[in-house]
Each structure stands twice: as structure tokens, then as C-alpha cells.
Amino acid sequence: MKNLINTIVPKVYGFYFNAIALFSKKVAAKKAFDAFCAVRKRKLFPNQKEYLDRVKNEVHTIGTHRIQSYHWQGIKETVLLVHGWESNTFRWRNLIKKLTKADFNIIAFDAPGHGHSSGSYLNVPLYAESLQYMIESYKPKLLVGHSVGGMTILYHQHAYAKSGIEKIVTIGAPSEFYEIMDHYQHLLQLSTRVMKALDTYIKGRFGFHIHDFSTSEFARSNASLGLLFHDRLDTIAPYHASEKVHTNWKNSILVSTEGLGHSMHQDDINEQIKDFLDRGRLFMK
């Protein structure tokens, strides 16, 4: 029954947006984009809440959002952690164990619409705005991002100049916005009329067309050292995304796995991340 509902509901939304587009493409585009950005905000489990409450830092006002940050004190460089879609800072618990033991100073935050932060919507430019605020506030030189968090980091490096970031780690990050929107169109069975209107709406709101947004292209000008992890069998973000980014990112290496999934909480992965942040230039030889 659940699978049936998950199949039918998107098509109902698609029918609704397609119908609206017959009368107003602008209204249909805005509604379709809002639905695309809507976050199913999940209630924190008791163990997640207990873990995060112990390390709560400041609540930052960024635009209309109140963003919760977290802090683990250390004497080494500051690492800023950027989680993925419909996740929260708790997802970093295994990596944080490694980084705290190595005495890194760690900052993390819940994205708009996630965890303890306010809001109901998220998109990459909005996430990048929050990321820029955190970078200005805490001056990290090291960034680690999972999934959409990794995508956001690479977009941020393209959109915001002189961030001072020296090393970046991405884990299972998508790269091409048009691939995500193609999936959205197929899932909802959106008409060509709606998709063209969506492209116009996105251009007007963010300054780029759907096909313009490509972290593999953004990576060409990225001067930071990069370490990319991606599983060949990832069913959430395609493996070729990190392949394309790595091809264009001069100072990067790609670690390919098979069967570790999208989340990559494994001890070996976290150990490699820690080592790269600690002495990353060894990886670039």
C-alpha cells in the first residue's frame, strides 16, 4: 500500500501542476518549484536529540531562518560539516569521533528545514547562503559535505569568492542539476510546458538556467584540495557525478567504492577523511 501511495501521489501533484500551467505557467512553475524544495521535516529520535543537545552552540539568524549550530572544541584547524537532504548534524557522529580524537575544532549546523533549524524548504542557493554565513563566522579551512551538502559546497566555492577554504571532502554528491530535474519531471510526469516555465522561474530567481548548474563545471576553477568518495552502486546520487567532478577538478582524487551505499558511515571512510584533513597533501602525490 505504501509503495502504491508513493507512486500515485507524485502523479497527482504532476497532474495538478500540468493543469495550472494551461492557465498560468508562472503560477505552475512556482508551485512545482516549492514542491521540489519542500522538506519532510522528521522528528528527532531521542538518541539524536540527546546527542545534539549536548553540543548545541549558537542559533544564528540567517535571512528569515534560525539556524542551529553545534561545536566540538579542538586545537587544530576548524572543520565545518555540511549534511545532506532530510538529514541533520547527527549523521556525522561517527566521523566526529575520529575528528575529536584527532583534536580538530569542529563546527556543524542543521540546514534550513532540518534538525533544530527553522523552515520548511531547502534549495542549494539557500543552503550556500547559510554555509557562507558559517564560514564568515567560524573561519574554517576544511569543509566536509555529504550528498546535497557536498553539492552545496562546490556551488558555494563557485558563487562566493575568497572563502579561504584549503581542503574539501564530498561524499556521494550529485553534480548536474538537470539530472535531478529530469528525475523530478519523470516522477511527476510534468509536461514540457511546466519544465520550460520552471527553467524560466529558476533563471529569474537565481540567475542560472537548469543546465547551467553543474558542479563538474564549477570544479574547473576550484583551487582547494579535494577528496571525493562515491559508491559505484549508489542509487541516490549517480557515481558518474563524482567522476565528472574529479575529471575537471585539478587538485582532487576520487575514492571509488562498491557496496558501501550512499551514506558511507563506515570506519574506513571516516579514517581516510581524517587523514586527508590532517595531512592532505600526501594524497595528492
Q: Can you give the pLDDT at residue 284?
A: 53
Q: Can you give the pLDDT at residue 283?
A: 56
Is residue 135's pLDDT more than 90? yes
Residue with cell 511546466: 194
State the CB neighbour count (10 A cutoff) for residue 193.
15
Nearest to 83 by CA among 9, 173, 160, 23: 173
224 phi-psi bin (left φ>0, alpha ψ -120 to 50, beta other) = beta
Q: Can you give the pLDDT at residue 6?
A: 58
Pairing state of beta strands 78-82 and 225-231?
unpaired
Distance CA 186, CA 95 (A): 36
Q: pLDDT-based confidence at 98, cuts 50/70/90?
A: very high
Q: Can you give the pLDDT at residue 82?
A: 98
Q: Can you give the pLDDT at residue 4?
A: 45
Q: Can you give the pLDDT at residue 281?
A: 55
Mean pLDDT of the chain: 94
Q: Can you give the pLDDT at residue 40?
A: 87
**195-208 per-position pLDDT tens digit:** 999 999 999 999 99
**55-84 per-position pLDDT tens digit:** 999 999 999 999 999 999 999 999 999 999
Distance CA 45, CA 51 (A): 10
Domains along the chain with CATH numbers: 1-37+177-213 (no CATH), 42-176+214-284 (3.40.50.1820)
Q: What is the mean pLDDT of residues 177-181?
A: 98
Q: What is the mean pLDDT of residues 10-19?
A: 93
**145-172 per-position pLDDT tens digit:** 999 999 999 999 999 977 789 999 999 9
Q: Can you give the pLDDT at residue 42?
A: 79
Nearest to 273 by CA among 149, 81, 144, 166: 144
Is residue 5's pLDDT more than 60? no
Q: Three-state SS across the chain?
A: CHHHHHHHHHHHHHHHHHHHHCCCHHHHHHHHHHHHHECCCCCCCHHHHHHHHCCEEEEEEECCEEEEEEEECCCCCEEEEECCCCCCHHHHHHHHHHHHHCCCEEEEECCCCCCCCCCCECCHHHHHHHHHHHHHHHCCCEEEEECHHHHHHHHHHHHCCCCCCCEEEEECCCCEHHHHHHHHHHHHCCCHHHHHHHHHHHHHHHCCCHHHCEHHHHHHHCCCEEEEEEECCCCCCCHHHHHHHHHHCCCEEEEEECCCCCCCCCHHHHHHHHHHHHHHHHHHC
CA of residue 212 relative to chain centroid, distance: 18
**20-58 per-position pLDDT tens digit:** 999 999 999 999 999 999 998 778 999 999 999 999 999
**212-228 per-position pLDDT tens digit:** 999 999 999 999 999 99
C-alpha grid cell for residue 152?
552545496
Name the residue type at position 222.
Answer: N
Name the residue type at position 146.
Answer: H
Is residue 285's pLDDT more than 50? no
Contact 109, 67 (CB under 8 A): yes
Q: Can you give the pLDDT at residue 10?
A: 86
